[in-house]
Amino acid sequence: MSDINDTKAAAGATAAEGKSAPQARRNAATQGAPRGAGSRTAKQGRAMLGAEAVIASLEAEGVTTVFGYPGGQAIKLYDALYDSDQITHVLARHEQGAVHMADGYARSTGRAGVAIVTSGPGATNTVTGIATAYMDSVPLVIITGQVGRGVIGTDSFQESDIVGITMPVVKHSYLLQSTEELTRTIREAFHIAVTGRPGPVLIDIPSDVAGETMVFEYPDTVNLPSYKPTYRGNAKQIRAACRLLEEAEQPLLYVGGGVIASEATEEIVALMDKMHIPAVATLMGKGGVPASHPLNLGPVGMHGAKYSNMAMTEADLIIAAGARFSDRVTGRVSEFAPNAKIVHIDIDPAEIGKIRDADVPIVGDLKGVLSGMLETLDKDGAVPCDDQWIADINAWRARYPFYHPNMAENEQTGEIVPELVIAELGRQLDPATSIVTTEVGQHQMWAHQFLPREFPRTFLSSGGLGTMGFGFPAAIGAAVANPGATVVCIAGDGSFQMNSQEMATAAINGVPVKVMILDNRCLGMVHQWQKLFYDKRYSQTLLEPVPDFVKLAEAYGWEGERVEAPGEVAAAIERMLAAEGPYLLDVAISPEQNVYPMVAPGAALDNVMGAIDVAVGAVRTDVPAAPGSPRAQAAASAAPVAASPCAKLDAQFGGRWEIDPEDTGARLGQDGSTVDVRPEDWKTLFREADAEMPAFSDEKGGAR
């Protein structure tokens, strides 16, 4: 647990306390020094085989854990590894699983994860894991065995051009040609992986190079004239960003994974507090701002909160802090944040202006840039932004919650509600001593919405590539890296089966990882899209009740149980977390459960469907009509619509909300509408009319 505690301490450390351990490690990496003994290793100057030099180099870099799977062209590397008393090897059951484990190790610690595999299919099995790390800027060093130099290019047995195959999804790659470049290459690989924008680096080592004799000389420095990441932000640009912030009335921080990679939580929170700026977070940025911070609005984008999306749409200044304007955040780019000026801070200059032009681009390390902004704001005597902006956002938060207990869709089902399962897990976890990983799908979005995280590197999820099969092996890697932590993987029944063979890895190595499956017996997210947008044509997304996950757990030597009733959930989670070894909890949920709110693909960010509106009775609004319903039939036939009994209500709430899901009346702005109110200024409408809003009643006279 040292890494989680180090991160926690760093977030609250003062200047008088000196540099934290993570900061010291980070500074060493950016200056080009190994994180281990480097040239001071006891093996310096010894004659050894190339394979032994590879292992000695990993030791010099301070590596203590590698993940992998042996094979013919990696056998020399594994033979040398046998003699290492520093490095523990975790044998995965599939090379993809090994890379995901190294990824989870890296995300939870900030150190480069290492995987070793053989050539041919062993190497190609790593591609998905490498691409996953590349998309999410995770530092990895992948070492692959290769056929001898003399037969490269001859279609030799188990030969694959892994350097060429992975070229689009690595930060850099090497094919070793001689032992003379071996130690320099490994030193450069670690330096490149962890500096600048982190990413995976691949080293392909021919077996004859591994078998040659050499003298081990490990360098402490690197000489890469073409690779000089920019860490110091331009002072003029920092001042320009501060001017915009001081002038803004409705500023917003857009927090991405760069906050975590840069270890900039302390600075981002200081900026929020100083200028009273609310923040929204991407999936990769979750944990970068404490969930309990009153100005943290949480998730934004396709499945973000309606109030977060409204804040993004209505902001007059957006400070993108280590975020890349993903389509899952922006929605339709042409309509994204139409009123906002953009300050974009990123260490990778290629990201700035790629999706949205920046009024003030700043290339540099986020931690340093934010520190510079705080200093400038102090010198300027800057004052916090207008409290009215915060008041508006708080009103939206109260009105459009993620979940409400009075929702009609959950009152009479008697089924387990997945949102409440995630919330219960969050209630029982200690945020300071736990790490949560996710697979990919509906459960991933529910976790983003309902699982509070207070510290960075405690929520690990595949964001860019969306890799099913990532979360479980990543949880094993995180648990190996943080032996005192409670590590839980939240999975779907489809995703979990992508790499369920790694249950053997956890059992054999005594890794007490926990897996909670939200089991709807379908490929939930694709099933939801088919339901909403493809007329319930469930093509190949319905899964049979196979396997029995409890029996599968028992077969691997795990504990396991299945729950099917809401009243069983809390106690089952308690038993799972209390278990000393690996544990699988199979939670049965309905395949009809959907993740809301949702912005449809290609829609504008403020075009939110399925958001709860407390003002109209805590029902979900703007949910697409079910096929065959009167509303769907009217739309399909283009028949004239009758005047809506909800027309005035529709107008008062911006023309998008309704009480009756089957209402066929004209909406605001449609032909046939009896309402001529056109609220051009939502702020005037909301601030002045909301105070006079009457209470609504249903036909039975109950308050709505």
Look at residues 566, 588, 610 and tell me which one is the last residue of a structural domain: 588
pLDDT, averaged per 10 consecutive residues of the chain (704 residues), comes to 41 37 53 83 96 98 98 98 97 98 98 98 98 98 97 94 97 97 98 97 98 97 94 97 97 98 97 97 97 97 96 97 96 94 97 96 98 97 92 95 72 80 97 98 97 98 97 98 97 98 98 98 96 94 96 98 96 98 97 94 93 86 63 49 38 39 45 42 39 36 32
Q: What is the CATH number of the domain that holds 203?
A: 3.40.50.970
Residue 381 sits in the same domain as residue 240: yes
Q: Token pair of 142, please?
A: 């992948």
Query: Does residue 305 sit within a domain?
Result: yes
Residue 451 sits in the same domain as residue 579: yes
What sign results for the dihedral spanned by CA atoms 653, 656, 661, 665?
A: positive
Residue 381 sits in the same domain as residue 253: yes
Rounded to whole angstroms, how far apart are CA atoms 334 and 120?
44
Query: Does residue 44 sit within a domain?
Result: yes
Residue 522 belongs to what domain range?
A: 408-588
pLDDT of residue 33: 77
Please name which of 599, 235, 233, 282 lies closest in space to residue 461, comparing C-alpha atoms: 282
Look at residues 185, 215, 245 and tell me which one is the last residue of a structural domain: 215
Rounded to whole angstroms, how far apart are CA atoms 627 and 636?
10
Q: What is the CATH number of the domain that holds 281?
A: 3.40.50.1220
pLDDT of residue 622: 80
Q: What is the DSSP string of 43-55?
A: TTT-EEEHHHHHH
Q: How many independent structural domains does the chain possess?
A: 5
Helices (H), 451-582: 471-481, 493-496, 503-508, 524-533, 549-555, 569-578
Q: Are strands 434-438 and 317-321 parallel, antiparallel or unpaired?
A: unpaired
Query: Does residue 205 sit within a domain?
Result: yes
Please name which of 202, 57, 205 lies closest in space to residue 133, comparing C-alpha atoms: 202
- Sequence length of the chain is 704
Query: Does residue 228 sit within a domain?
Result: no
Please name which of 358, 499, 525 lies closest in space to residue 440, comparing C-alpha atoms: 525
Please name which of 374, 228, 232, 265 lies closest in space to residue 20, comparing C-alpha atoms: 265
Query: Does residue 605 sit within a domain?
Result: no
Residue 386 sits in the same domain as residue 412: no
Residue 581 sits in the same domain as residue 654: no
Q: Which residues contact 689 (CB under 8 A, 6 or more apart)?
A: 652
Contact yes or no for 498/565 (Cβ under 8 A): no
Residue 521 sits in the same domain as residue 629: no
Query: Does residue 596 sit within a domain?
Result: no
pLDDT of residue 477: 98
Residue 7 sits in the same domain as residue 61: no
Query: Does residue 317 sit within a domain?
Result: yes
Rounded to whole angstroms, how far apart are CA atoms 232 and 230?
6
Residue 203 sits in the same domain as residue 271: no
Please name which of 305, 302, 259 lies closest in space to residue 401, comparing C-alpha atoms: 305
Residue 62 sits in the same domain as residue 207: yes
Rounded to whole angstroms, how far apart are CA atoms 562 and 572?
9
Residue 70 sits in the same domain as residue 192: yes
Residue 113 sits in the same domain as residue 168: yes
Rounded to whole angstroms, how far apart are CA atoms 553 and 91?
19
Rounded to whole angstroms, how far apart are CA atoms 405 and 326?
32
Query: Does residue 581 sit within a domain?
Result: yes
Rounded to whole angstroms, how far apart are CA atoms 568 and 108?
31
Residue 167 sits in the same domain as residue 83: yes
Backbone angles phi, psi at 23, to 5 degrees: -65, -40
Backbone angles phi, psi at 275, to 5 degrees: -105, 5
Look at residues 184, 215, 246 and tell me which one is the last residue of a structural domain: 215
